[in-house]
Amino acid sequence: MRLTILQRLKSASDYISGQQLSRELQVSRAAINKHIMALRDMGYQIESITNRGYRLQDKQMINQLELELLVRAGGYPVTPVFYETIDSTNRAAKQMAQHGLIVALEQTHGKGRRGRDWISAKGQGLYVSLVLMPQLPPEVISAITQLAGLCVAKAIGPEARIKWPNDVYIKDKKASGILTELITQADLIEKLIIGIGVNFNPVNDMDTATSLAEQGKDLSMIEFLDQFLKLWFQAYPQFLEQPDLSYWLEEINQRSLLQNKSVQISGIDDVGTFLGIDAQGHAIIEGESRHMLSYGEISLKGWK
């Protein structure tokens, strides 16, 4: 009932009367008012005027109800779970027994690649883990990560660029990171977890990071999530039918931060040109020899 009332308030272009809500939902005016008060207690700013009704003033909140509304509206096959604070969304995702969407506003032990800390202070960013069970071989992890990066970049906007293997940049600074993890059994993926962190507000203690606010992006957390889920669930069924990046390869390479640039491969005494990625998500680098990287770190020559 509360979710339905919220949905009506969000879709209304003007005030909607309590009498109309009462008639549509076949409950008393007192019941409507009780749910309105509960929504206000959750932080929603709902204006009420006698003889006009109710109007929702802030339509960009993010909480459990908003996630449920988003999943319902999109028909996404996931169970949404919201946390104000959690140790790690990916860690919680590993405990889920069904397809899920875990969203948090703060992580106390967020992790990036190679166990690095991902700074996840409250009010700074959005932290998301998508839980899927695709029954594919583990080798698709590189391609899955690139596809997720494309969806994140497109959800942010045309200025966002993909830095292989798992970051999204705006200009020369990191705005988002992706951590893909697998639980496997008998050479198949039992559980796929796509962890995404997006900086919405400045990261004060990292000079290599940026945020959507610093880049002038007027995009709320719920709007980003809405766009990402639309893009992901448009692409994902096609990927399951043909688990490679053939369909998206040109678009991913067009968005590449490193495309046709001189790069340094970490741990290898070789500098080469980043030629792009292949359909399996491997980086192709032409130096003294040709390198096909399924994982690892590379940086623009003279810049990290």
pLDDT of residue 119: 59
Q: Are residues 37 and 109 in the same domain?
A: no
Please report, rounded to a whole number, the percentage of residues in the chain having pLDDT higher than 90. Answer: 61
Assign residue 224 the CATH number of its domain: 3.30.930.10
How confident is residue 298, by pLDDT bands cut at 50, 70 and 90? confident
pLDDT of residue 301: 59
Q: Are residues 231 and 283 in the same domain?
A: no
Give the angle 71-73-76 at the CA atoms, nearest 5°: 40
Find tokens 């719920």 and name the residue: 222
**71, pLDDT greater than 70:** yes
With both helix axes pointing from N to C terminus, report the angle between 29-41 and 2-11 in degrees, rounded to the nearest 10. Answer: 80
Q: Are residues 226 and 126 in the same domain?
A: yes
Q: Are residues 250 and 268 in the same domain?
A: no
Please report, rounded to a whole number, the percentage of residues in the chain having pLDDT higher than 70. Answer: 94
Domain that holds residue 43: 2-56
Q: Are residues 205 and 236 in the same domain?
A: yes
Q: Are residues 181 and 49 in the same domain?
A: no
Q: Are residues 43 and 91 in the same domain?
A: no
Q: Are residues 138 and 11 in the same domain?
A: no
Question: Tokens standing for 85?
Answer: 């604070």
Mean pLDDT of 37-57: 84
- pTM, full prediction: 0.87
pLDDT of residue 186: 85
Q: Are residues 119 and 266 in the same domain?
A: no
Q: Are residues 79 and 226 in the same domain?
A: yes
**112, pLDDT greater than 60:** no
pLDDT digits (tens, 9 = 90+) for 152-185: 999 999 999 999 999 999 998 999 999 999 999 9
Specify the range with the lowest mean pLDDT, choosing from 46-50, 84-88, 213-217.
Answer: 46-50
Distance CA 21, CA 2 (A): 11
pLDDT of residue 100: 97
Domain count, the chain: 3
Q: Are residues 84 and 168 in the same domain?
A: yes
Cβ atoms 106, 121 nearer than 8 A: yes
Assign residue 14 the CATH number of its domain: 1.10.10.10
**293, pLDDT greater than 90:** no
Q: Are residues 109 and 246 in the same domain?
A: yes
pLDDT digits (tens, 9 = 90+) for 250-287: 999 999 999 999 998 877 777 899 999 999 999 999 98
